[in-house]
Amino acid sequence: MINRRRFLTIGSLAGLIPSLSFRSKKSASGLVSTLSSEPTRLAAKPIVISTWKQPKANAAAQAVLDKGGRALEAVEAGVRVPEADPADMSVGYGGRPDRDGHVTLDACIMDERGNAGSVTFLEHIMHPISVARAVMEKTPHVMLSGEGALNFALAQGFKKENLLTKKAEKEWREWLKTAKYKPIANIERHDTIGMLAIDDQGNISGACTTSGLAYKMRGRVGDSPIIGAGLFVDNEIGGACATGLGELVMRTCGSFLVVELMRQGRTPQQACEEAALRIVKKQDYKDIQVGFLAVNKKGESGAFSIQPGFNYTITQQKQTQVIDAKSYLK
């Protein structure tokens, strides 16, 4: 499907983003700019779509939708899979710690009514997404952080656990020998999961959960739990989520921007591309990865990243595929 897509050169779209100097061909620096003329994937509902290679998470979400469940239930069930999987070292249990050796988690969730819940800097709880959902449904707030989030989780019956696996600890101790902190595109194997789903009723929900950047400063919170940055859903329009270096996504309200661009008429693919170009235009992106993923109300979807290497998993009509996203740099 991806190879069959037609692309417009950015030159013909210069009116949309006037101040970028677009190139229609590969330049000396290797930059290529494109905005697609078609959505990446044609509409089909229900749909589950998630950042990176997450077939098991999509299967768990799809199982909920197969029973006629809400998209909200689906995305929660879906992202709980990598949260509990120690092999996924960017999410939940087994996540890489901060520079002081603590696993700290960020997550958020949004439903079709525009309700939102979020936890940041949460420690010791395997399923931050479920705590985020409890914040949404059981408190008058949107976001709880740190000790307050942990106390709330414990009061809700969540169990306190050690989330630092031997493997993650060993790698961290190795890192301590040089303790150089420089996030590099894809090298940290970004597996943060952002998931969007549309259910039988046509309702959209989303979830995003991560242990954040490996060896981050203690207390650092990324884009993933920030409504509008790591995730945004507007049931009239669509949903979007982001992965990669959160600082770049937060500075541009990335997921909100993608949804707003879809509101203005962009396809999900075009919206993801334009949001990535916004970052490229304003930020130092050279070694940095950011990927966007979006779905609109019709069930069309799209994805785009700054660096090559970003992929996503889509489940539609009972078929699951992992697709390489187009990228700004080649």
Question: Is 222 near ligand SD4 (CB under 6 A)?
Answer: yes
Question: Is 246 near ligand SD4 (CB under 6 A)?
Answer: yes
Give the Cα separation of 229 and 239 in Å (integer). 12
Residues known to be catalytic: 192
Q: Which tokens hold the place of 116?
A: 């939102």
Amino acid at 198: I
Using left for φ > 0, alpha for ψ between -120 and 50, and beta otherwise, residue 101 falls in left
In the complex, least distance from residue 242 CB atom to ligand SD4, rounded to whole angstroms: 7
Question: Is 192 near ligand SD4 (CB under 6 A)?
Answer: yes
Span from 11-19, 145-153, 219-227, 263-271 in contact with ligand SD4 (CB under 6 A):
219-227
Q: Are 204 and 231 in contact (CB under 8 A)?
A: no
Q: Rank residues 66 and 100 by Cβ distance to ligand SD4 and give the closer one.
A: 100
Question: Pick from 92, 117, 244, 299: which binds ligand SD4 (CB under 6 A)?
Answer: 244
Question: Is 243 near ligand SD4 (CB under 6 A)?
Answer: yes
Q: Of 88, 95, 98, which is closest to residue 161 (Cα–Cα)?
A: 95
Q: Which positions from 255 to 294 touch ligand SD4 by CB under 6 A, shown as an x/- string?
A: ----------------------------------------
Give the Cα separation of 184 and 289 in Å (integer). 7
Q: What angle do CA 235, 269, 10 make, to 5 degrees?
A: 140
Question: Pick from 111, 191, 199, 274: which binds ligand SD4 (CB under 6 A)?
Answer: 191
With 0-12 / 13-18 / 19 or more C-beta atoms within 10 angstroms meaning exposed / middle / buried, residue 319 is exposed
In the complex, least distance from residue 255 CB atom to ligand SD4, rounded to whole angstroms: 11
Contacts to ligand SD4 by CB under 6 A: 90, 190-192, 210, 212-213, 222-224, 243-246
